[in-house]
Amino acid sequence: MHNILAVTWRQTTEGFAFGAVGMLLVAVLLGGTQYRRLSSGVRFFWFYLVMVLIIEVLAKYHHYILDTSNMYLLHIYTFFEFVLLMLFFRETLELRVSWRRTLLGITFSIGIVLVLYSANILFWHNEKLLPQHFQLYSKIITNFFILFFSVLFFVRFISGRIKKESRVLFWIYAGILTYFSGSFVIFMAINQLIRMPLKESIVLWLLNAVLAFVFYGIVNTAFLIQRQNWKRLRPG
């Protein structure tokens, strides 16, 4: 009985995970078909979605076809997620950070990642990349910043400081806040979750999949609003 329940949980989780990828694909297509009409900020967000889709496909390929660990992808994912979302925040929240400083920050982050990866391979060997040695504290830090900026958006939205394409941005930020507020707790414990038996951690992975599904669903709403706005404003 317990095993049947575990299988059902697993299937439900996989169902939501694949559903989320489907939603993500729709979001990428919806954003891609109106790419020229997207503002520079939303374009960065679209690039983020494309990056997530690529990582998701690679992760599924590793898991289902190669049957190897795909955890290393999470490091790449975390890095690009942070950079692209920060660029999105920079543009949409009109943060007064010059392009020079932004590029310096990105270069510095790339440098840090490369140094840590090299150090890991050179001094702690490849086996440190195996799940039992897996750690992802960087994800907690980046998630904290993402949460901070998405809350900042809503504070600015209430005070009326967000004027441009406010409805589209509202829904994108609503998606970000919904997903990252829940996943923040999950990723806070990811180092332990990785080492736990799947039947014990499956509910959390299910929650993560549901949150991702909701996130991309809300993003699709934002892109549909963008399309409607354009149709309404189009002459003739």
Q: Which stretch binds another protein (CB under 8 A): 36-44, 92-100, 182-190, 228-236?
A: 182-190
Residue 207 binds to another protein (criterion: CB under 8 A): yes
Backbone region of residue 149 per phi and psi (left: phi > 0; alpha: psi in -120 to 50; beta: other values) = alpha
Judged by CB under 8 A, the chain residues 155 through 174 that form the site for another protein are 157-158, 160, 170, 174
3-state secondary structure 29-71: HHHHHCHHHCCHHHHHHHHHHHHHHHHHHHHHHHHHHHCCCCC
User: Who's near 31: CB < 8 A, 6+ residues apart?
Assistant: 38, 42, 45, 46, 49, 223
CA distances (Å), origin 180, targets 81, 110, 148, 227: 12, 23, 10, 26
Task: Go through the chain and tell me how many residues it has.
Answer: 236
Q: For another protein, give the closer residue by CB, 143 or 226.
A: 143
**Binds another protein (CB under 8 A): choice among 70, 102, 109, 178:** 178
Q: Which stretch binds another protein (CB under 8 A): 5-13, 57-65, 86-94, 150-158?
A: 150-158
Q: Which stretch binds another protein (CB under 8 A): 14-22, 62-70, 128-136, 181-189?
A: 181-189
Give how many residues touch another protein by CB under 8 A.
21
Interface residue list for another protein (CB under 8 A): 151, 154, 157-158, 160, 170, 174, 177-178, 180-186, 189, 203-204, 207, 211
